Amino acid sequence: MKKHLRTHTGEKPYPCPECDKRFANRSGIKNHLRVHTKEKPYTCRVCEKSFTQRTTLVIHMRYHTGERPYSCHICLKNYVTKSLLKDHRCKTRDGYIGEIYK
């Protein structure tokens, strides 16, 4: 519960000893320290590219498998990440959709 409350309070009690960044939890500082140590413990079994975070490897694997779990409800185009879908929606909303209602 304490960890969750930090998301609301903005408290970041874990400082990086190498730079000025601070983190709300131990896992955040642990992942961040890999930036300084250059450690990349997560390796792709297909192409052997390495990553600092497991979630980045998961997203990378989608390029090998063709998985695109995020779909635009307007044009049905699929994307590898939620942020790529969000970028697409903004462009679609500002361009294509805007022209229909003008």
pLDDT single digits (tens) 77-101: 999 999 999 888 666 666 555 333 3
Q: Supply the CATH number for residue 6's domain.
A: 3.30.160.60
In whole angstroms, give the CA distance from residue 79 to residue 69.
Answer: 6
Whether pTM exceeds 0.85: no
Identify whether 95 is part of a domain: yes
Q: Is residue 65 part of a domain?
A: no
Q: CA 7, CA 5: separation in Å to the nearest integer?
A: 5
Cα–Cα distance measured from residue 92 to residue 102, given in angstroms and rounded to the nearest whole number: 14
Residue 17 within a domain: yes
Residue 53 lies in a domain: no
The verdict on residue 26 lying in a domain is yes
Separation of alpha carbons 57 and 18, rounded Å: 25
Is residue 61 domain-resident?
no
Question: In the chain, how many domains are there?
Answer: 2
Q: Is residue 56 included in any domain, yes or no?
A: no
Residues 6+ apart with CB under 8 A from 77: 71, 88
Its domain, for residue 8, covers 2-37
Instruction: Confirm whether 94 is domain-assigned.
Output: yes
Answer with the residue of higher pLDDT: 88 or 44.
Answer: 44
